[in-house]
Amino acid sequence: MRVEYGDTPLTRADMPAEPMSLFRSWLAAATAANVDEPNAMAFATCDAERQPHCRIVLLKQLDERGLTFFSNRDSDKGTQLAANARAAATFWWQRPRNRQVRLTGSVEPASEAVSDAYFAARPRRAQICSAASPQSRRIDSRAELERRVEALAAATGDAPIARPPHWGGYVLVPDTVEFWQGRDGRLHDRFRYRRGVHGWDLERLAP
């Protein structure tokens, strides 16, 4: 299977002084092109045995500090991040121009206020399911999981669902951000930002 990517260039003149403004632009372009879940990123962590693990998580907030997503802190990713607060993330957008962004950096807990606000904004069913599910833990059956959800729904009635203490946000604070523009013949354009003492350093990479 082979796809040619077109010949839209990415040049040094296209690269701003810092990476996040370009990331926002590429994310907006993917959203406008109706990419399914353009905020989905492959997110990789390592466990105590240095075994890598990767899964898809959804970027929910983006600011000068970094990229925020939300999860169960008792999940596999949560326990891995507690032991090793380093991670990598990759975005891939085939539309509109076959683009990839890779980030590496440290991961910090989001503030309690940020976690509370986002949890409160979620649909009620999502709140209940997040609170009831023992994420990444073994369960005997789907029926057991559904019983947990329905029991919590019955117990809370119409009352607000409190954010459980094991659920909250994480912020990936990048120290490298790489932009990849697919081009025909596999002669792709790649630029990598590295966080330095006085700001971001930029370098072109061979494809």
Distance CA 149, CA 8 (A): 49
Q: End-to-end CA distance of the chain, in Å?
A: 19
Say whether 186 is catalytic: yes
Q: What is the dihedral of CA 109, 113, 166, 175, to 10 degrees?
A: -10
Q: List, as one string, the DSSP characters of 114-161.
A: HHHHHHHHS-HHHHHHHHH--TTS--S-HHHHHHHHHHHHHHHTTSPP
Q: What token pair was written down for 58?
A: 């959804």
Which of 186, 190, 194, 195 is the catalytic position? 186
Q: Which sequence positions are flagged as catalytic?
A: 186
